[in-house]
Chain A
Amino acid sequence: MTVQFQGVLDAITRVRGVRGAMMVATEDGLVVADTLMEGVNGKAVAALAASLFQRLRQATAAAGIGRPGFVHLQASEGGLLALDPGGEVLLVAVTDPEVNVGLVRLEMLRASEVVK
């Protein structure tokens, strides 16, 4: 992993309530780079985030609203955020339930400028 990518992922994980951040190959769901807290299964996050993103891409295309840019899945004990910078990778973050989503989104948008 390059120092540059490590830096942007670190900035996301510094937001309180973020358990980990990673870059994932959109098409095959493989991990490109990550900074994860212990107990977070990076390979599973990558595969599931990419798969969910692909499913959503079909739905948004059918609805005529284009490609998804940012996705927020909220669950009872946490959340999964994914941002598509427009290339071949996704930025993904796993969070606690009460995280400030606005802040995480902002850091992910900043990171996307580096990743593009």
Chain B
Amino acid sequence: MVDDLKGLSAEFARDPDSLVFLRLGEALRMRGEIEAASRVAQTGLERYPDLPEARDLYARILVDGGQIGEARQVWWGILEIEPRHLGANKGLGYLWYGDGDLDRALEHLETALAADPTDQSVVQALRVVRMAAAEAEEMPPAPAIFEGLEGADHGLLLVDQRGRPLGGGLKTPQGTPVADEVAAYLGGVGDEAQRAARLLGLGDWQWLVTESEDGNLHLTRPTEGSLLLVVRDRSVPAGRLTYLAAKANEAARSWLEAQQL
């Protein structure tokens, strides 16, 4: 492997316009050298910005580096050019499966299989997702925290104080699930809000509203150890957002109390 890497690096240095960056980037990725792999992939992309294989390599490196949202964007970009691209469909299939969206996972993996029916990794992944889908159909639905509330699966998110999602869901205006990423940041926002309120002599913080470029956000504390986020597009006025947050807050508090019994 080391010899392979040396050879590929030498070849890349000798002829930076060649496609050897694809093999070198993949070899570095497989060795876990994410930063080096990313540099190589980005160098290749500068020369071949529209090459689907270069973008696919970069997306896989992004996933290994934990940049799931960015990887998803890169794969979507490939599908705009080449809708049946094997790597992009495979990658998106895995990501949707990770998000628990089995229908979308199946859709992408079946397209990937159609692109290359001999790809055993796709065959295996499809088997796993189909089994999960069959089990999901047999299971009774889990009690939903925000059942009946507007935006329960894409604009209401309950997290614990350490930034772990407890329920609900959150998607970007483009439909990308982002509950895990946003939850991770919310713990810090809650801590900072509390610190600011206390140090400025404002007492305990109660809620926080943010008007942003493409949406409004309302953050509150249903209980001492939890945070509730409500996100809506800018057409929803602040007053209505507060009303929605109050309803969701009530539902979240009841659910949290039931968990402690």
Contacts and interface: CB of A to CB of B under 8 A. Distances in A.
A48 B186 contact: no
Interface string B198-228: 0111111111111111111100000000000
Among A40, A56, A73, chain B packs the most CB atoms within 10 A around the CB of A73
Given A55-B188, A80-B200, A62 B213 contact: no
Nearest to B197: A75
Interface residues of B, number: 39
Contacts of A40: 200
A66 B211 CA distance: 10
Interface in A51-72: 51-52, 55-56, 58-60, 62-72
A69 B211 contact: yes
A38 interface: no
Give the size category of A's interface with B: 20 to 34
A23 interface: no
A56 B189 contact: yes
A85 interface: no
A34 to B, nearest CB: 14
A74 interface: yes
Among B173, B184, B197, B231, chain A packs the most CB atoms within 10 A around the CB of B197
15 contacts: A55-B185, A59-B217, A60-B210, A62-B69, A62-B181, A62-B184, A63-B182, A64-B176, A65-B212, A65-B214, A68-B217, A74-B208, A75-B204, A76-B203, A78-B201
Given A48-B196, A60-B215, 17 more contacts: A51-B196, A56-B208, A58-B188, A62-B184, A64-B214, A67-B212, A68-B211, A69-B212, A71-B210, A72-B208, A73-B205, A73-B208, A74-B207, A74-B209, A75-B206, A78-B202, A80-B202
Interface of A: 40-41, 44-45, 48-49, 51-52, 55-56, 58-60, 62-80, 94
Interface of B: 69, 170, 172-174, 176, 178, 181-182, 184-186, 188-189, 192-193, 195-197, 199-217, 231
